[in-house]
Amino acid sequence: MDRRNVTAVRSGMFAINKVKAYVPIRVLRTLYFTLVYPYIIYGITLWIAAYQAHLSKSNVFHKKIIGSIFNANIMTVPKSSLYS
């Protein structure tokens, strides 16, 4: 992800963290798909050719967001829990 996308994702993550104590998970999920997800999938076809080292930083960032939504450790949250 380029710097502008990272800034947008962090802003979305900040918004989710601010409201997560007051809204149900379905609203957090909607916020995720509105504020964060478009920036993560932006240019996904280019990511296929990227080295694994570059992708690991993005994967950790994505897991942090999902862990924040579900109030869980980032290592124990499967990505599939957000999409179901």
At residue 42 the predicted structure's pLDDT band, cuts being 50, 70 and 90, is: confident
Closest CA to 58 of 73, 76, 43, 80: 43
Residue 16: is it exposed, middle or buried by C-beta count within 10 angstroms (0-12/13-18/19+)? Answer: buried
- Compute the average pLDDT of residues 46-68: 71
> Is the per-residue pLDDT at 80 higher than 70?
no
Structure tokens at 2: 């380029």
Range of the domain at 14: 3-83
pLDDT tens digit string along 63-74? 777 777 777 665
Give how many domains the chain has, as a whole number.
Answer: 1
Pick the residue with more confidence: 35 or 78? 35
pLDDT of residue 23: 92
